A and B are shown apart, each in its own frame.
Chain A
Amino acid sequence: MPGRLILRRPSPTTVSFTVSNASRHTSTPAKILFYLQILLRALVFFCVVFFNIARLRHSFFNQDGSLVHWSTIWSSPLGSIVSRIVDSYSAWVVVILSAIVIYGVFRKGYTEESLLVIRGLGIQTSTSSLTYLSKASTRFIPTTQIQDIVIHEAFKGFEVRFYLAIIVDGESEVVVVFPKLLPNRAILEEVWRGSRRCLYDSKS
């Protein structure tokens, strides 16, 4: 899915470019689908938690607590089915499977990368993380270290792609902006113009 550019300009000296391949959910069915997806994720998450609790019912969750009556749960039809399923697998299988499912639940379906340019201060690039749990990885480059911002081409896989790169003082390698999405040339040129104007052109 090709990325799309979101441009924010909170102040005259600051501009933020965000490239994202997330769908925009404009139409009603898309919105419904989106909420359904959230619901499903929550459901799956609770299922996994429940299965794990069922697995650990002998060691921890056998006494009736103040909130939940575990023994009644385990004796209920649903509880007994779950217990039987869980008991038929070894602990490792359950752990690994639930880890995978949890990862799937928290995995972001999209990537969002952004470039924040603040005049006189510097540039911050950020790439969203894979899951909802971890934070985006960011890198800040102060103005004094920025030599130039360029658009160039490189081989990637079976393609030649354009990329926006910041040449940093004292580093042998350039810092690639939007390294995962590598948006197309039109977006890159807009970002390039905008960031250069913001960084160097005092009149804007």
Chain B
Amino acid sequence: MPYNIAMVSDFFFPQPGGIESHIYQLSTKLIDRGHKVIIITHAYKGRTGVRYLTNGLKVYHVPFLVIYRESTMPTVFSFFPIFRNIVIREQIQIVHGHASLSSFCHEAILHARTMGLRTVFTDHSLFGFADASSILTNKLLKFTLSDVDHVICVSHTCKENTVLRASLDPLMVSVIPNAVVAENFQPLEQGGPPSSIGPNDIITIVVISRLFYNKGTDLLIATIPRILSSHPNVRFIIAGSGPKAIDLEQMLERNVLQDKVEMLGPVRHEEVRDVMVRGHIYLHPSLTEAFGTVLVEAASCGLYVVCTRVGGIPEVLPQHMTTFAKPEEDDLVMATSKAIAALRSNKVRTDRFHDQVKMMYSWTDVAQRTERVYKGIQGDISPEEFYGYYPGQGWEASGDRVRSFALIDRLKRYYGCGVWAGKLFCLCVVIDVLIYVFLEMWFPRVNIDIARSWPKKLKQKEVADSTGNGPDRVSSTT
């Protein structure tokens, strides 16, 4: 049965990024499966009002103050009136928030629960427990997730992290990975038998990553000269920009490696494939990664992947596509050398990677699995089936997993968040409920127009598979 779903996140097109494309792809595929999906995000520069993307995906760019890196100001309640209006006019049943750094998403989940809607949260990132900002984020996450119906994580490591951070029941957390649009990451067309690499052929190593500390740029800087000195027939292509770019360039100048290392600067997501197919090995020295979509993209382009064994990376690709290294300079050099040797001996069938990756990851699959989550929380699958039924083990689908909307139950859940935080959260929830009552009186439901749904197309499949945002059908400015 089709649902009306609202995806809420601070991060959406036109800003590029992993979360943005995740939301877009998932929404498109859910629409293909017959659901109605809208996206609620904040207004970007040059992107305001209500817009339609390809496939009838409706985007509300709510005008809100942006404070830092496209995150909106966390103003617990100010989003509520407009959110309620949107939810009512679009007849939303499920609110699906994305990204734990998005205050929009947290607020939407809180308000949605107040309005009696089912909520899902997708976590895309890993957080530690030590530093102050993490502690604050974790507390906020705990607040939101105390009352969420289900959580989706992109990897098992991410799930463990989220369960710990937000004190969740692990059965309420599903692992649904990201995916790639395999058609956009095809290796170069090669006629005839796969070409073999000779012992003296040039092997190109591609690195595409933002040059930040947590992307392991320091490791990269340390390893490049060593790899190049021990393997004369190796070239590097580095794409991406960031604060560490200067360090990288200094290293190149110091070691006079400009002829062997090509720096491309920032590349758009559409061009990533064209960069990738120029190489043989993809090197990913990241220090933390929840999923690592770029690894899948690289493997899909037929690149052998060398990456660090951190975060959720070990779960992403099978053994024959990757060489893992510890996040240490020596080990990374060794792993790269091993990968080069493996390629030179032509043991790795990189030409088959694309089809294999296509089998492993697809957005259709992701949408299907997400749909199961929706069914579970909407009660279209019985709780026993959704959460597991284990007869004879003293296990029953406990009533707590199916979260009731009664205020007293909600308050109970929030109260357990902490000594002070629990009381504060309860206060917030009570205020939220009062605001809701006030809004129901001041802007009664009957006065809100119900928006028309996008007309369903009977036959269309291939149109929606484009990665970028589709052409806007109608643009609006008021």
Q: Are chains A and B touching in the complex at the 8 Å CB cutoff?
A: yes
Which stretch (B79-87, B222-230, B345-353, B417-425) binds chain A? B79-87
Min Cβ gap A54→B in Å is 45
Chain B interface category by residue count: 20 to 34
Q: Name the contact of A160 in the complex, choosing from B60, B447, B477 (C-beta under 8 A).
A: B60
User: Is B449 a contact of A184 with CB atoms below 8 Å?
Assistant: yes
Q: Per-residue 0/1 for A159-191: is the Cβ within 8 Å of any B Cβ (1 yes, 0 no)?
A: 111110100000011101000000011000000
User: Is A155 a contact of B82 with CB atoms below 8 Å?
Assistant: yes
User: Is A155 a contact of B49 with CB atoms below 8 Å?
Assistant: yes
- Complex Cα distance A159/B452, Å? 16
- Tell me the residues in window 420-449 of chain B with beta carbons closer than 8 Å to chain A beta carbons: 443, 447-449
User: Is A158 a contact of B443 with CB atoms below 8 Å?
Assistant: yes
Contacts of A165 in B (CB 8 A): 476
User: Is B449 a contact of A155 with CB atoms below 8 Å?
Assistant: no
User: Is A160 a contact of B478 with CB atoms below 8 Å?
Assistant: no
- Complex Cα distance A161/B62, Å? 13
- Tell me the residues in window 431-478 of chain B with beta carbons closer than 8 Å to chain A beta carbons: 443, 447-452, 474, 476-478
Q: Per DSSP, are chain A's interface residues mostly helix, strand or loop, or mixed?
A: strand
Q: Name the contact of B85 in the complex, choosing from A150, A158, A172, A173 (C-beta under 8 A).
A: A158
- Complex Cα distance A172/B46, Å? 13
Q: Tell me how many residue pairs across A and B have CB atoms closer than 8 Å.
A: 51
Say yes or no: is B50 at the interface (Cβ < 8 Å to chain A). Answer: yes
Say yes or no: is B47 at the interface (Cβ < 8 Å to chain A). Answer: no
Say yes or no: is B413 at the interface (Cβ < 8 Å to chain A). Answer: no
User: Is A159 a contact of B82 with CB atoms below 8 Å?
Assistant: yes
Closest to B60 in A: A160
Contacts of B478 in A (CB 8 A): 154-156, 163, 176
Say yes or no: is A152 at the interface (Cβ < 8 Å to chain B). Answer: yes
List 13 extra interface pairs beyond A153-B451, A154-B478, CB under 8 A.
A152-B49, A152-B50, A152-B474, A155-B50, A159-B85, A159-B448, A160-B50, A160-B60, A160-B85, A160-B89, A163-B478, A173-B477, A174-B477
Q: Can you sample 7 A-B contacts with CB below 8 Å?
A: A159-B85, A159-B443, A160-B85, A165-B476, A173-B477, A185-B450, A185-B452
Name A's B-contacting residues (CB within 8 A): 2, 150, 152-156, 158-163, 165, 172-174, 176, 184-185
